[in-house]
Amino acid sequence: MEQTPDLTLKNKVAVVTGASSGIGEAAARALAARGAVVVLAARGEEKLRVLQEEISASGGRALAVGADVVDRGSVEALMGRAVAEFGALDVLVNNAGVGLSGRVAELRAEDLRHVMEVNLIGPLNCIQAALPHMGPGGRIVNVSSVIGLRAIPKVGGYCATKSALNALSDALRVEVANRGITVTSVYPGTTHTAFRENSRRTGSERRGWRPPGVTPDRVAEKVARAAEKGGRDVYVRLSDRLFVAGAKLLPGLTDRALRLVLARK
């Protein structure tokens, strides 16, 4: 017997940044599968068009819009386009992001500035441009990282950008609560995407041991659920949640464990 599709986001308009790859691409598919109209944003328009066609071919609705989250004008145009085409803006998924590796002593300020622009100012631009169009029931989903909650060696700069995003999410959640808008932070751990290849690097040092990762589809399901139901903090795996809880409870022991596992040359 064929299953009835779960159209819990039917006709909700969702803007997804970083929809040309990895978690954003999977999240766009997951939202479309639940009936949302998905506005696909990233700089790489060609890939967005391919995804738009794929979603349309499977009976969904999507629109590809080239946008650079760092550029406020480009983000204003993106949100304006979503509202002009579909008459509403219900969900914003701030997913676009870039990695940065290297020991703190060696990080280049210009690399950190760039990654901060994409990972923090980008979501800020999108939030500020989307909020005037959002009403009660609006959902903002910020894709953070489990290492934005407890920084680890060799990616301290990246962790700092996600930590700053968490702070923004916490303040915003309270500020918009009386408008009926929710703000969710999603904390993925290692996820199998092109993220590492797309990351900025200081030197050629390897990060060392990494936990086994999850598929972008698994993270996308969490993002789609947050777009439906809101919620505050969303982890993808129990082990991520336990790592964060353990690190809060026993920070010194966590430092020692990280030294053993990750900080060696």
Ligand X SMILES: NC(=O)c1ccc[n+]([C@@H]2O[C@H](COP(=O)([O-])OP(=O)(O)OC[C@H]3O[C@@H](n4cnc5c(N)ncnc54)[C@H](OP(=O)(O)O)[C@@H]3O)[C@@H](O)[C@H]2O)c1
Residues 6+ apart with CB under 8 A from 128: none
Q: What span, in angstroms and rounded, lies between the C-alpha atoms of 81 and 210?
A: 40
Task: For tokens 């631009």, name the residue.
Answer: 125
Enumerate binding residues for ligand X (CB under 6 A). Answer: 17-18, 20-24, 42-44, 67-70, 95-98, 118, 122, 143, 145, 188, 190-191, 193-195, 198
What the block records as the tokens of 250 is 């026993």
Beta strands, E only, the chain: 13-17, 37-42, 61-66, 91-94, 100-101, 139-143, 182-187, 200-201, 233-235
The residue (of 185 and 202) whose beta carbon lies closer to ligand X is: 185
Residue 36 amino acid letter: A
Closest CA to 211 of 234, 249, 239: 239
What the block records as the tokens of 234 is 């969303």
Active-site option among 63, 124, 149, 158: 158
Closest CA to 102 of 161, 145, 164, 156: 156
What the block records as the tokens of 124 is 């800020």
Closest CA to 84 of 56, 63, 67, 69: 63
187 is catalytic: no
What the block records as the tokens of 265 is 């040359």
What is the set of active-site residues?
A: 158
